[in-house]
Amino acid sequence: MAKKRAPGAPLRLDNEKQLLKHYYAGQRMESPMGGYLMLLGLRHGEDGDSIGIFECSASSLRYELVIPKATRTERKKVKDALDEGEDPDCPRHGHGTRLVRAGRDLVCMSCGVAYAKAS
């Protein structure tokens, strides 16, 4: 028997790393239930992580995927671009996914991750 959980509480996925690769590449993410995962929204996790909430197209079950906070390397890449006077792209989503100002941070709207402080 599956453990009891709060109604509507999202499930965790086993292959997060692989799914994240697909997510950053903008590719379809397969759900363990045979459908694919559709992004419902992003919320803040702990310590700067972001959490994507996904719904399975086949089962309508909800899953959450932890999107890890920016690494030192990613922050440096973005800071270097800012220092060059460029509009930085998301280091994970790549070219064309601009970071946008959200409060005091520069954030990717697809990751929900802050990569730099807004100047």
110 scored as a contact of Zn ion (CB under 5 A): yes
- b/e string for 9-42 if b means 16 or more Cβ within 10 A? ebeebeebeebbeebbeeeebbbeeebbbeeeeb
Q: Which positions from 53 to 92 touch Zn ion by CB under 5 A, shown as an x/- string?
A: -------------------------------------x-x
Size of the site for Zn ion (CB under 5 A): 6
Q: Do 19 and 29 contact (CB within 8 A), yes or no?
A: yes
Q: Is 42 in the site for Zn ion (CB under 5 A)?
A: no
111 binds Zn ion (CB under 5 A): yes
- Size (the chain), residues: 119
Residue 107 in the binding site for Zn ion (CB under 5 A):
no
* Residues engaged in binding Zn ion (CB under 5 A): 90, 92-93, 108, 110-111
